[in-house]
Structure 1
């Protein structure tokens, strides 16, 4: 057991050393109040554009997906808005595997991101636990929120709790696991010693969430391709359905 713990600690040190150049570049940027302030304004502007488009052009989208896209844009700003524009609007010309992968990742991302924010704030920001406990608790909250975002809608559609839970475990576990390994790992690499009152605590958390999205996207593409998960519905069909109803 001691050898195993030593091996893990050694591996962690090797990873930290390998990414030290990136850390030296990113930490000053993420700690700069001016840069972070400008980013916050950009995010607010992106959320405004999203809400305007949802109300003016994409009212047929369901309330859950509107909430999903709002969280995605809050987490990732212009990147999240670009993902919405490319994959989530009813005006997309045609659907594709890549777009379905993006929508599935966005759905997972919105719940896991919320869980990660709650978990890391409690574990690291409030309780000031050691790194191992921070990672474990944040993982737990990310899984909890990510599964809930799948189980809840399934049960609303009449699926039993047991079946909905099993479906969530099968379809969401691979992408949540990959997303959180990279997101939490990035956050701890950049801000393991930061406190809630420091800008770096929050900016590193936001940055790490986008890293998690990027690495989880190809995983979701594969899960959709092989039928492990269905992927979110084609939004252009909602537009067509509305037009037919008119």
Structure 2
């Protein structure tokens, strides 16, 4: 595996971490509150973006970058990656019959969510490789890594 693919996998794992935290939290909250699929998915998406951006924003801020510039870096680095990941994982979990209604104690709920995140990761790696190859996406964050 060449360096661009390794970097794309690393960037996608980074994105998956933030997305998974937000996605799982949103799905758990919505499901626990008995919400229907639409508000649960919206909450999951909002939290996925929030956590995804936060995981990039924190290290960039610690590198001494001003908040507004750091936010621009996080938006440039993660927006397309998070968007693709969220489209894929939410489309899958909504498409699995009964997954959204299964409840937190259900294997169907957790297996569907895990499967959706794995597929989203696989689909998003080439997206990140394409971005990195053009000096975009996670490539804009590299100058802030120590």
TM value normalised by structure 1? 0.54
* 1:170/1:228 contact within 8 Å kept: yes
1:165 alignment counterpart: 71
* Aligned residue in 1 for 2:131: 223
Contact 1:104 1:231 in 2 (8 A): no
* Greater radius of gyration (CA): 1
Alpha-carbon distance in 2 for matches of 1:169, 1:208: 24
Q: Identify the structure with bigger relative contact order (alpha carbons < 8 Å, sequence gap 6+).
A: 2
Q: 1:210 aligns with which of 106, 118, 127?
A: 118
1:188 counterpart (94, 98, 107): 94
**Structure 2: segments with no counterpart, 5+ residues:** none
Q: How many residues align?
A: 140
Q: How does 1:126-141 map to 2 (within 5 A)?
A: 126-141=32-47
1: CA distance between counterparts of 2:6 and 2:113? 26
State whether residues 100 and 231 of structure 1, in contact with CA within 8 Å, keep that contact through their aligned partners in structure 2.
no
Please give the per-residue CA displacement for 1:190-234, whole angstroms capped at 9, x wherever unaligned.
Answer: 21221112111111111111011011111101110111131776x
Alpha-carbon distance between aligned partners in 1 of 2:123 and 2:114, rounded to the nearest angstrom: 15
CA RMSD in angstroms comes to 1.8
Q: For 1:113, which of 20, 29, 54 is the aligned residue?
A: 20
Query: How do 1:1-246 residues align onto structure 2 when only pairs under 5 Å count?
Result: 96-123=3-30, 125-190=31-96, 191-229=99-137, 230=139
Q: 1:159 to 1:231 in 2, by over 3 A?
A: closer
Q: Secondary structure, in 3 states, of the residue corresponding to 1:196?
A: coil
The answer for unaligned runs of 5 or more in structure 1 is 1-85, 87-94, 239-246
